[in-house]
Amino acid sequence: MSVVLEAQQLTSVRAGRTLFSDLSWQLAAGEILHIEGPNGAGKSTLLRIVAGLLQPLEGEVLLFGQPQREDPELWQRQTLFIGHKPAVKAELTALENLHFQSRLDGVQLDDPWQLLETVGLLGLEDIPAQQLSAGQQRRIALARLFYSQAKLWILDEPFTALDTRGIDLLHQRFAQHLEHGGALLLTSHQPLTWSGERLQRLRIEAADE
């Protein structure tokens, strides 16, 4: 399988504290990397570095062999990052949020109503996001996964606030993504149920402790 993502000797220091040092790994098409570790260990920091939103103190991240600075267009097209807070616009309705998100992603939605149904928000489309529950807001944010063509998904705590049906839905979507040659990097405090050969684990412990 081809290598989608390669991290080379990553070191990160925040507020004078070394979160991790000399981290290296490869993630191939069809694989998941589950980043584990206690609160504050640096998992979100690592994901933000991989997404190109933060610079490591040392080291480099390659997507299909390319550093971000050399091919920003490839990175833009082939990565999808969803952070741990649902990045929804509070005053926009669920439907308006889907249109807003998809425009930012450069995607024309074929059938926004179908997408609402897929993520379990049909019937709630006219309600401002701020009046939706935490899990419903998370579903708006996660709707991006159902139209994304990006090969690398970077998801920070995607299961937070989801009910069991929502978690099942995500697992199904992850499986499709992997079957189509995608790769997935995620943090989750919940255990993942995937067959061993597809799942890699990386545990971060604060290096200074």
Ligand X SMILES: Nc1ncnc2c1ncn2[C@@H]1O[C@H](COP(=O)(O)OP(=O)(O)OP(=O)(O)O)[C@@H](O)[C@H]1O
Rule CB under 6 A: say whether 158 interacts with ligand X: no
For residue 43, the minimal CB distance to ligand X (Å) is 4
Rule CB under 6 A: say whether 209 interacts with ligand X: no
Rule CB under 6 A: say whether 86 interacts with ligand X: no
For residue 17, the minimal CB distance to ligand X (Å) is 6
Candidates 41-49, 125-133, 146-154, 177-185: pick the segment binding ligand X (CB under 6 A). 41-49
Rule CB under 6 A: say whether 40 interacts with ligand X: yes
Candidates 11-19, 73-81, 130-138, 172-180: pick the segment binding ligand X (CB under 6 A). 11-19
Contact 63, 73 (CB under 8 A): no
User: Helices marked H in the chain — which ranges?
Assistant: 43-50, 72-78, 94-104, 112-118, 134-142, 164-179
For residue 28, the minimal CB distance to ligand X (Å) is 24
Residues 6+ apart with CB under 8 A from 147: 102, 105, 107, 109, 115
Rule CB under 6 A: say whether 14 interacts with ligand X: yes
Contact 25, 47 (CB under 8 A): no
Residues 6+ apart with CB under 8 A from 49: 10, 12, 55, 56, 61
Beta bridge partners of 187: 35, 156
Rule CB under 6 A: say whether 11 interacts with ligand X: no
Contact 97, 88 (CB under 8 A): yes
CB closer to ligand X, 40 vs 181: 40
Give the interface with ligand X as residue ranges (CB under 6 A): 14-15, 19, 37, 39-45
